[in-house]
């Protein structure tokens, strides 16, 4: 679905500038409780890697989240040799479109990141798809970087399923991170660079709006961009 979006981007840019953005998706976030178990207090920048459909929207949500130092779109679940957009898009590489989140645990906890992930960043009850995108590369997955992250994620999924906050069971898979590979440059900061692009306006801008509405204390207006991070390094 998004492959055609990318190829038609140049053609649609003029149209989206000339006309108002399309009606946005009536995408309702799900209000969910905070995790009963969270990671222990820590110092230093921590890493979380999550997958929830198209990485454009997931990256955009966490770029507007306070305490996030950097959020990079990329690929996890497969090998480095096949970690490119064209190959991953076949759905045969084992990769999921993912986002690597570097965060300051003194400002936001791992559990809070998971709460935002399950509540506004994607629908964790959709199996091997997310919205208009289908295939294993769009699956819901958490790639953990420690045993503690694994315990927190699995406990939270069990908590949410037990509370029946979603109409269907959560299908998110939890597995250890074996490697994260950043996506091509044109995928980075995509939501910020193309807010009126039809796919973004319809599917992803509502996620950021839901973040602002439901997690006001964690929302920042100015996004933390990959391009800005590179400029300061």
Q: Which residues does the annotation mark as catalytic?
A: 54
Q: How far apart are CA 168 and CA 225, in angstroms?
A: 34
Quote the radius of gyration of the chain (alpha carbons, Å).
17
Contacts of 82-91 with CB under 8 Å at 24 or more apart are: 83/181, 84/184, 85/183, 85/184, 85/187, 88/137, 89/3, 89/135, 89/137, 91/135, 91/136, 91/137
CA pair distance 214, 207, nearest whole angstrom:
10
């Amino acid at each position: 679905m998004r492959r055609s979006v990318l190829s038609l981007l140049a053609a649609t840019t003029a149209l989206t500038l000339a006309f108002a953005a399309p009606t946005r998706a009536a995408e309702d976030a799900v209000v969910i409780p905070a995790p009963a178990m969270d990671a222990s207090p820590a110092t230093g920048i921590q890493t979380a890697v999550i997958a929830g459909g198209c990485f454009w929207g997931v990256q955009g949500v966490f770029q507007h989240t306070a305490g996030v130092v950097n959020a990079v779109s990329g690929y996890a679940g497969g090998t480095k040799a096949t970690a490119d957009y064209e190959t991953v898009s076949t759905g045969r590489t084992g990769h999921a479109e993912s986002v690597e989140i570097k965060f300051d645990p003194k400002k936001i906890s791992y559990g809070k990141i998971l709460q935002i992930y399950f509540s506004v960043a994607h629908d964790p009850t959709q199996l091997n798809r997310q919205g208009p995108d289908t295939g294993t590369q769009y699956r819901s997955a958490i790639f953990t970087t420690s045993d503690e992250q694994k315990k927190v994620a699995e406990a939270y999924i069990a908590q949410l399923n037990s509370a029946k906050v979603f109409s269907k069971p959560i299908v998110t898979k939890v597995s250890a991170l074996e490697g994260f590979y950043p996506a091509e440059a044109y995928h980075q900061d995509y939501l910020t660079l193309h807010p009126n692009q039809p796919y973004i306006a319809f599917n992803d801008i509502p996620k950021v709006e839901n973040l602002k509405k439901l997690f006001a204390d964690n929302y920042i207006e100015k996004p933390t961009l990959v391009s800005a991070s590179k400029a300061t390094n």
